Amino acid sequence: MANKPWGGRFEGKTDRRVEQFTESISFDRRLFKHDIQGSIAHARMLAHVELLTTDECQQIVQGLSEIQAEIEAGRFEFVLEREDIHMHIEAALIEKLGDVGRKLHTARSRNDQVATDLKLWTRDALDRIDGGLVTLQRAFLDAAGRHRDVILPGYTHLQRAQPVLAAHYFLAYVEKLARDRSRVRDCRERLNVLPLGAAALAGTTLPIDRTHVAQSLGFADVAANSLDVSSDRDFAIESASVLSLIAVHLSGWAEEWVLWSTQEFSFLALPDAICTGSSIMPQKKNPDVLELIRGRTGRVIGALQTLLVLVKGLPLAYNRDLQEDKPPLFEAFDTVEACLDLAAVVVEGAKLRTDRINERLDEGYLDATTLMEYLIREGIPQRTAHEVIGHLVGLCEQKGLNRLADLPEEEFSRANPKLGPKVKEQLGVANAVKAFRSFGSTAPEEVERQIGIWCDRLK
């Protein structure tokens, strides 16, 4: 047991199968940079409170930096006996420095160390997600700018409902992603409290200065209860939850665009570069990227489930169960990062097929609600106006007419005397869109204003 840092009280060797079962180095090695970052801050604090000499601290910092370079260059050996990334790095330091290296773990336990490493890693990962969200917001905003005059059928229940400007449609996703960004910010803020110094669970009798460590690592605060903090994985769960919602947003958008790129819709032309073919049907061009973005949502929501079930019923403080937090957390971040990147590529490359969209804009009586509101402005109660226009739509269907505008004038005035000759100015999708007024609506001036606001915000 001499090779184990905890081997003092043991006599026999660890069973190989136990080593294999308990190791985490296969997945926590990706924490190496953050582990070293935390250790350097810890060593500097130990020197600050004179638990290390300045010279010892310098040797440790130097040694840790060398180890980081070795890992980055692929010159570092990972072995099962050393269990996890913390013991690997510490053991390598001791190999380099002897007794000085043996001082680094003063006033620290792997329990507060791993919590700190994982928070540092998660904080960086949240920042990358925020970057991915901004890039995708910009892609949607650009698409809004590129399709300024395009009108789309808007849907509810996936049935044609009312006309909307394409720019209005794209901005809807800019807004969803803005809420995602605010959740990322929120999560980062609550996460940004230092665990290190909680030691195993109770703190330490040594005169450490946790504020010193917090400052060097950019934590806004120091965790106030050592028992709480060594078991706290709220930040991992919150992150997975924020990521799940991002994935859910992307899945809805991806589904929409899968539909839009079908022959049946023909709203969207996807560039060849983001599609794949079929090994048997030569004519196929499939939107696989969109399908996989939709499908990978399962992994992210799965990670959230895994994490919640992992901590459910865990007593204070550290339990080895918590080692299982990393694979789902990494998977959730990796998945969403990749999905955001690819989503931006798709949005940048996609073109609306305005010819095909326009050909069929007259279908679905998209102007019916606008005409009803015209009657309301003329003083007719809403319920009556609804009935009148519903009746006219019914007439169209009986006569096989696609458009309200194709009904003879006398049908309008017969349905309601307020529906005089001026009615024609209300009809058709272009007039219907122009008639909108309310804040947040698809009114052209309103949409222009929103584009302006987002251009400023995302500059």
Q: Which is nearer to ligand ARG, 24 or 137 (CB)?
A: 24
For residue 187, CA distances in Å to 64, 222, 240, 306, 419 come to: 30, 16, 10, 19, 55
114 binds ligand ARG (CB under 6 A): yes
Q: Which is nearer to ligand ARG, 322 or 361 (CB)?
A: 322
Angle, CA 81 vertex, CA 79 and CA 82 arms, to 5°: 75
Q: How many angstroms separate the CA atoms of 267 and 129, rounded?
A: 30
Distance CA 19, CA 6 (A): 14
Question: Which range touches ligand ARG (CB under 6 A), out of 184-192, 250-258, 288-296, 317-325?
Answer: 317-325
* Nearer of residues 110 and 296 to ligand ARG, judged by Cβ: 110
The stretch among 62-70, 110-118, 161-169, 181-189 that binds ligand ARG (CB under 6 A) is: 110-118
109 is annotated as an active-site residue: no
- What pairing do the DSSP bridges indicate for beta strands 268-269 and 351-352? antiparallel
Interatomic CA distance for residues 337 and 298, integer angstroms:
15
**Toward ligand ARG, which CB reaches closer, 59 or 113?**
113
End-to-end CA distance of the chain: 59
Q: Whole-number minimum distance, CB 200 to ligand ARG, in Å?
A: 7
Cα 368 to Cα 356, 373, 396, 412, 446, distances in angstroms: 22, 9, 12, 13, 21
Which span (68-76, 109-117, 142-150, 386-394) binds ligand ARG, by CB under 6 A? 109-117
Per CB under 6 A, the segment of 136-144, 318-326, 327-335, 365-373 that binds ligand ARG is 318-326
- Among 41, 64, 181, CA closest to 119: 41
CB of 320 to ligand ARG, least distance (A): 6
**What residues contact 193, with CB distance under 8 A and at least 6 apart?**
219, 220, 221, 222, 223, 229
At its nearest, how many Å lie between ligand ARG and the CB of residue 120? Answer: 14
Return the half-sphere exposure (C-beta side, CA atoms, 13 A cut-off) of residue 160: 17
Task: Based on the shown chain and the rule CB under 6 A, indicate whether residue 24 belongs to the binding site for ligand ARG.
Answer: yes
Point out the catalytic residue in the list 65, 182, 278, 391.
Answer: 278
Residues 250-309 that bind ligand ARG (CB under 6 A): none
Q: 58, 136 in Cβ contact below 8 A?
A: no
User: Minimum Å distance from CB 69 to ligand ARG?
Assistant: 23
Integer angstrom CA distances of residue 264 from 83, 258, 261, 268, 356 = 56, 11, 8, 11, 11
**What is the pattern of x (binds ligand ARG, CB under 6 A) and - over residues 77-96?**
-------x------------
Residue 438 is among the residues annotated as catalytic for this protein:
no
Residue 226 touching ligand ARG (CB under 6 A): no
Residue 322 within binding range of ligand ARG, rule CB under 6 A: yes
Are the beta carbons of 83 and 22 closer than 8 angstroms? yes
> Smallest distance from the beta carbon of 114 to ligand ARG, in angstroms?
4
Span from 96-104, 187-195, 245-253, 320-328 in contact with ligand ARG (CB under 6 A): 320-328
When the beta carbons of 25 and 269 are compared against ligand ARG, the nearer one is 25
Kindly tell me which residue out of 82, 88, 110, 296 binds ligand ARG, with binding defined by CB under 6 A.
Answer: 110
Closer by beta carbon to ligand ARG, 254 or else 310: 310
Contact present, 181 and 298 (Cβ < 8 Å): no
Q: Give 246: exposed, middle or buried? Use CB within 10 Å, 0-12, 13-18, 19+.
A: buried
Residue (322 or 357) nearer to ligand ARG, CB = 322
Least distance from ligand ARG to the Cβ atom of residue 314, Å: 12
Q: Is 37 in the site for ligand ARG (CB under 6 A)?
A: no
Longest dimension (CA), the chain: 101
Shortest gap between Cβ of 112 and ligand ARG (angstroms)? 9
- Tokens 């997945």 correspond to 27
Separation of alpha carbons 97 and 95, rounded Å: 6
Considering only residues 135 through 194, tell me which ones interact with ligand ARG, judged by CB under 6 A. none
Beta strands per DSSP E along 212-337: 221-222, 268-269
Paired with 276 in beta bridges are 286
Exactly one of 39, 306, 323, 370 binds ligand ARG (CB under 6 A); that residue is 323
# of chain residues touching ligand ARG (CB under 6 A): 10
Between 196 and 423, CB nearer to ligand ARG = 196
How big is the chain, counted in residues?
Answer: 459
- Torsion angles phi and psi, residue 427, rounded to 5: -95, 160
Which C-beta is closer to ligand ARG: that of 104 or that of 371? Answer: 104
Q: What residues line the site for ligand ARG (CB under 6 A)? A: 24, 28, 84, 110-111, 114, 318, 320, 322-323
* Residues identified as active-site: 157, 278
